Chain A
Amino acid sequence: MAMIRNQRRHRLVAYSLILPFVAIFSLVFAYPIVEVIRLSFTNATLIGGGEWVGLQNYRELLSDKLFYTSLKNNGYFVLLTVVPTTAIALGIALMVQRLSGRLQALALALFFLPYILPVSVVTQIWAWMLDFQFGVLQPVLELIAGKPIPVFKNPHWVMPMVALVTIWWTNGFNVLLLLAGLRNIPQDLYEASALDGANRRQQFARITWPLLWPVVALVLTLQLILQLKLFDQVYLLSEGGPFNSSYVLLLMVYREAFQQNNGGYAAAISLVVFLLIVTVSVLQYQLLRIRGRK
């Protein structure tokens, strides 16, 4: 049966259906972005007008030593988290997958539990556990380093420890994604390959890994975006110190905007962070996909 519709009416309905989304999106996303871009070309304070200064903020940023320190720390943190957390999650997912029924659900719940905690609770737990005087983990550190260490006050230890806390906190979600990916691989491929003579290692290398790769690439990219946005953990655990050794880009935005009242400069930094994340993550995802296709 051919359906004859009133085209104008049809369009009207369509517009009215997308209107709520467009309105909210414009209000809380599009408008702020435009405003941030505008702000970054002014010397405005956090609230109030400011004057157009052109590229002054960006020029200042490129000669700001703290910007490079932060960039380096962000990069260091990405190295410490993205690949390790994915590798750990893959290991856990592979192990959890071999459990059956309720036991699997229980194991998954245990690994996922930290993820539902708010960041302030997570950092508090770890701050206590790693406390210089009373921390239950200090004997472990003593074993490694030979003496107790105030980890969040030590420039060599602070970033690895923040990374550790972050991995512990967010790993469950990656396990979940990878486990879903593993479950998507049909069981009979493993049976067929067992008949073809593949041992466990070969099954992993020739079936699991290539078929799981799209999910691994996704996890790596999500992690990259997430870890470049590092802020809460350092703010709560070390406040960027000691000696700026855990100072990161978003902390810089926060300080400039809310403590120094340099709205325009903060807007310029956040725009740079935004472009950085977009570029790096798109680049990474495309590279990973190309690698996967080979």
Chain B
Amino acid sequence: MSGVVLRNVRKSFGAVDIIKDVSLTVQKGEFGVFVGPSGCGKSTLLRMIAGLEDTTSGMIEIGGRDVTAVEPSRRGVAMVFQSYALYPHLSVAENMAFSLRLAKKSRAEREEKVREAARILQLTDHLEKRPAQLSGGQRQRVAIGRAIVREPEVFLFDEPLSNLDAELRVQMRLELSRLHNQIGATMIYVTHDQVEAMTLADDIFVLKGGVVQQSGAPLRLYDDPDNRFVAGFIGSPSMNFLSGTVTGHSAQGIVVASEEGALEAHLTERPALGTTVILGVRPEHLAPAESGIPVTVEMAEELGGNAYVHCRLNSGADIVFERRGLRDRLDGQRVRLSADPSQIYCFAPEGLRLR
């Protein structure tokens, strides 16, 4: 049973294609996250699913029903806006009951549903207040409550946490996860924050330039990125990239000369000697070693359990590696960094992953 299916969906504003041929599926009951840099089209895609933007071509299905030309209120979706979009002149209870009133539901039914949603979201004490009297986190919960009472097939979230402070954001993230487990509806969530994507998603869809770059479970994207963009976007701090030239073939891969050092990487299809490749290494896989890339340590971000050590390559570019449990400082020292050949990713200069 499918939740939301997009088939060859396009959207253009005039001559500009915002969404270029997107096909994807969010399974029923799953938590799907659209993530990407600003301007990648993720919000537009969400608004197309909601019916707030029309679809230039392609098909949108919700619960097996073609809704491409169906008006927003009949799609069985509810949306939580970045600005919350609460009705300022109505109380919390009236905000949540708005759709039920329009649907001419009985007073008893309205009150019961609002009470139930308020209980789930811990808003029971605030039902008579106006949105302006609430804190950011409470407004957020009202917006979610307004979605819950409609009992939609699909919940859509448009960067719902971006107006909250850091601490509240973490807390609301957990609450959203809990809510998803509790009501089990399909949810699609848009964010530019890859940490939110990693922590919330069953499936992440990484978008850039109106195209889905890669989709899959968070850890699959982390461990096995298809291209340099996904590799760099998923993970914090992000992956280090080094440009180099293939100088030799080893038993399982290639030897790449880069930044006055050399690294070995495992590859099945080995590019010819002299080819330019981009190497990608995550900070946690890099460590000081006898041989490798020479760097100068600049400073360390000490987080207690681990530390991110920022270094400068001979070419002047930055590189970061992670240390755990070590207390000595390396500031100002010259060290060589290396990584296990199986932990080094290779990309073609255009960005595609070499495997």
Q: Do A and B bind each other?
A: yes
Instruction: List residues of A whose CB falls within 8 A of some B CB.
Output: 186, 188-189, 191-198, 202, 206-207, 210-211
B72 within 8 A of A: yes
Could you tell me the distance between the alpha carbons of A180 and B288 in the complex, rounded to whole angstroms?
63
Q: Are A195 and B77 in contact (CB under 8 A)?
A: yes
Task: Kindly list chain B residues whose C-beta atoms are within 8 Å of the C-beta of A194.
Answer: 51-52, 71-73
Q: Are B78 and A211 in contact (CB under 8 A)?
A: no
Min CB–CB distance B259 → chain A (angstroms)? 49
Q: Interface 1/0s, chain B 68-87, versus A by CB < 8 A?
A: 00011100011101010101
B150 within 8 A of A: yes
Task: Kindly list chain B residues whose C-beta atoms are within 8 Å of the C-beta of A206.
Answer: 87, 98
Task: Kindly list chain B residues whose C-beta atoms are within 8 Å of the C-beta of A188.
Answer: 81, 83, 85
Q: Are A192 and B73 in contact (CB under 8 A)?
A: no
Count chain B CB atoms within 10 A of each CB in A191, A192, A193, A206 and give the residue with the most: A192
Q: How large is the interface on B (under 10, 10 to 19, 20 to 34, 35 or more residues)?
A: 20 to 34
Q: Are A196 and B83 in contact (CB under 8 A)?
A: no
Question: How many inter-chain contacts with C-beta < 8 Å in the A-B complex?
Answer: 53
B97 closest partner in A (C-beta): A196
B107 within 8 A of A: no
Q: Are A195 and B83 in contact (CB under 8 A)?
A: no
Which residues from 50 to 100 on chain B have a C-beta closer than 8 Å to any C-beta of chain A? 50-52, 71-73, 77-79, 81, 83, 85, 87-89, 98-99
Count chain A CB atoms within 10 A of each CB in B50, B71, B72 and give the residue with the most: B72
Given contacts A194-B73, A196-B98, contact A210 B81 (CB under 8 A): no
Min CB–CB distance A139 → chain B (angstroms)? 46
Task: Kindly list chain B residues whose C-beta atoms are within 8 Å of the C-beta of A207.
Answer: 87
B103 within 8 A of A: yes
Could you tell me the distance between the alpha carbons of A210 and B72 in the complex, rounded to whole angstroms?
23
Could you tell me the distance between the alpha carbons of A104 and B319 in the complex, rounded to whole angstroms?
53
Min CB–CB distance A52 → chain B (angstroms)? 55
Cβ contacts A to B, 7 pairs, < 8 Å: A189-B87, A191-B50, A191-B72, A192-B85, A192-B146, A194-B52, A196-B150
B1 within 8 A of A: no
Instruction: List residues of B whose CB falls within 8 A of some A CB.
Output: 50-52, 71-73, 77-79, 81, 83, 85, 87-89, 98-99, 102-103, 146, 150
7 smallest CB-CB distances across A and B, nearest first, come from: A197-B73, A196-B99, A192-B85, A188-B85, A197-B102, A210-B89, A195-B72
Indicate which residue in B78, B83, B146 contacts A186 across the interface (CB closer than 8 Å): B83
Q: Are A193 and B78 in contact (CB under 8 A)?
A: no
Q: Are A186 and B85 in contact (CB under 8 A)?
A: yes
Q: Are B73 and A189 in contact (CB under 8 A)?
A: no
Min CB–CB distance A204 → chain B (angstroms)? 13
Task: Kindly list chain A residues whose C-beta atoms are within 8 Å of the C-beta of B146.
Answer: 192, 196
Indicate which residue in B50, B81, B89, B103 contacts A197 across the interface (CB closer than 8 Å): B103
Task: Kindly list chain A residues whose C-beta atoms are within 8 Å of the C-beta of B51.
Answer: 194-195
Min CB–CB distance A201 → chain B (angstroms)? 11
Task: Kindly list chain A residues whose C-beta atoms are within 8 Å of the C-beta of B73.
Answer: 194-198
Could you tell me the distance between the alpha carbons of A197 and B73 in the complex, rounded to whole angstroms?
5
A207 closest partner in B (C-beta): B87
Q: Are B81 and A191 in contact (CB under 8 A)?
A: yes
Task: Kindly list chain A residues whose C-beta atoms are within 8 Å of the C-beta of B89.
Answer: 210-211
Min CB–CB distance A193 → chain B (angstroms)? 7
Q: Are B102 and A202 in contact (CB under 8 A)?
A: yes
Min CB–CB distance A171 → chain B (angstroms)? 27
Could you tell me the distance between the alpha carbons of A194 and B74 in the complex, rounded to whole angstroms?
10
Could you tell me the distance between the alpha carbons of A210 and B79 in the complex, rounded to whole angstroms?
23
Known: A189-B87, A192-B146, A196-B146. 9 other contacts (CB 8 A): A192-B87, A194-B71, A194-B72, A194-B73, A195-B99, A196-B102, A197-B102, A198-B73, A202-B102
Task: Kindly list chain B residues whose C-beta atoms are within 8 Å of the C-beta of A196.
Answer: 73, 98-99, 102, 146, 150
Task: Kindly list chain A residues whose C-beta atoms are within 8 Å of the C-beta of B102.
Answer: 196-198, 202
Task: Kindly list chain A residues whose C-beta atoms are within 8 Å of the C-beta of B72.
Answer: 191, 194-195
Could you tell me the distance between the alpha carbons of A201 and B136 in the complex, rounded to whole angstroms?
31
Could you tell me the distance between the alpha carbons of A32 and B73 in the complex, rounded to whole angstroms?
62
Could you tell me the distance between the alpha carbons of A197 and B81 in the complex, rounded to whole angstroms?
16
B77 closest partner in A (C-beta): A195
Task: Kindly list chain A residues whose C-beta atoms are within 8 Å of the C-beta of B150.
Answer: 196
B89 closest partner in A (C-beta): A210
Could you tell me the distance between the alpha carbons of A195 and B80 in the complex, rounded to whole angstroms?
10
Could you tell me the distance between the alpha carbons of A207 and B78 in the complex, rounded to whole angstroms?
19
Given contacts A197-B99, A197-B102, A198-B102, contact A192 B81 (CB under 8 A): yes
